[in-house]
Amino acid sequence: MPQDTFTLRLIAKELNETLRGGRINRVNQPAKEELALIIYTGKRTLKLTVNANASDCGIYFTDDERENPLVAPNFCMLLRKHLTGAEILGVSLDGFERIVVLRVKCFSDFSETERELRAEIMGKYSNVILTENGTVLGALKTTMLDENCKRAILPGVKYTLPAPQDKVNPSDKAALSALLSTPHDDLSRFLFLNVAGLAPCTAEQIVNSYQGGDLAGHVYGYIFSDAISPCVAERNGEATDFFARFQEGALPFPTLSAAQSYYYGKKRERKQLEGERRKLAAAVNTVRKKAEKRLAQIHDKQWECASCVQNRIKGELLTANLHALSRGMKSCELTNFYDEMGGTMKIPLDETLTPSQNAQNYFKKYRKQKRALEVLEPQEREMSAELDYAESLAAAIAAAADMNDLRALEEELLSAGMLKAPEERHARKRPPEIGFRQYERAGFTIRAGRNNLQNDRLVRSGSPEDIWLHTQKYHSCHVVIETKGKEVPNEVLLFAAGVCARYSDAKGGGKVPVDYCKLKYVKKPPRTKAGFVIYTDHQTLLTESNEE
* Distance set, CA 358 to CA 326, 346, 366, 381, 486 (Å): 11, 14, 13, 35, 74
**pLDDT tens digits, 165-189:** 888 888 888 888 888 888 788 888 9
Contact 244, 10 (CB under 8 A): yes
Per-residue pLDDT band for 272 (boundaries 50, 70, 90) equals confident
Q: Give domain 5-139's CATH number out of 3.40.50.970, 3.30.1360.30, 2.30.310.10, 3.30.465.10.
A: 2.30.310.10
Per-residue pLDDT band for 27 (boundaries 50, 70, 90) equals very high
Full-model pTM: 0.71
Per-residue pLDDT band for 91 (boundaries 50, 70, 90) equals very high
- The residue-averaged pLDDT of 421-442 equals 72
d(CA 361, CA 513): 54
Q: Provide the pLDDT for residue 286.
A: 92
d(CA 149, CA 154): 12
Pairing of strands 479-482, 467-471: antiparallel
d(CA 275, CA 397): 12
Of 476, 422, 469, 408, whose CA–CA distance to 441 is shortest? 469
Per-residue pLDDT band for 429 (boundaries 50, 70, 90) equals low
> How large is the C-alpha radius of gyration of the chain?
36
Contact 170, 220 (CB under 8 A): yes
What's the number of CA atoms in the CB half-sphere (13 Å) around residue 502? 16
Range ranked top by mean pLDDT from 206-215, 402-411, 443-452 = 443-452
Per-residue pLDDT band for 135 (boundaries 50, 70, 90) equals very high
Of 493, 475, 484, whose CA–CA distance to 543 is shortest? 493
* Distance set, CA 396 to CA 391, 438, 473, 504 (Å): 9, 17, 15, 7
- The residue-averaged pLDDT of 443-460 equals 91
Residue 546 has pLDDT above 60, yes or no: no
DSSP of 93-130, one letter per residue? ESTTSSEEEEEEEEE-SS-EEEEEEEEE--GGG-EEEE
Per-residue pLDDT band for 304 (boundaries 50, 70, 90) equals confident
Per-residue pLDDT band for 423 (boundaries 50, 70, 90) equals low
What's the number of CA atoms in the CB half-sphere (13 Å) around residue 350? 10
Contact 305, 376 (CB under 8 A): yes
Q: Provide the pLDDT for residue 142.
A: 87
User: Is the dihedral angle over the CA atoms 179, 185, 190, 191 positive or is it negative?
Assistant: positive
Of 354, 219, 386, 150, whose CA–CA distance to 287 is shortest? 386
The domain spans of the chain are 5-139, 173-259, 282-423, 437-543
DSSP of 435-473, one letter per residue? --EEEEETTEEEEE-SSHHHHHHHHHHS-TTSEEEEESS
d(CA 88, CA 20): 5
Residue 370 has pLDDT above 70, yes or no: yes
**CB-neighbour burial class of residue 453 (10 A; exposed 0-12, middle 13-18, buried 19+):** middle
Of 228, 227, 234, whose CA–CA distance to 256 is shortest? 228
Q: Provide the pLDDT for residue 425.
A: 52
Contact 33, 87 (CB under 8 A): no
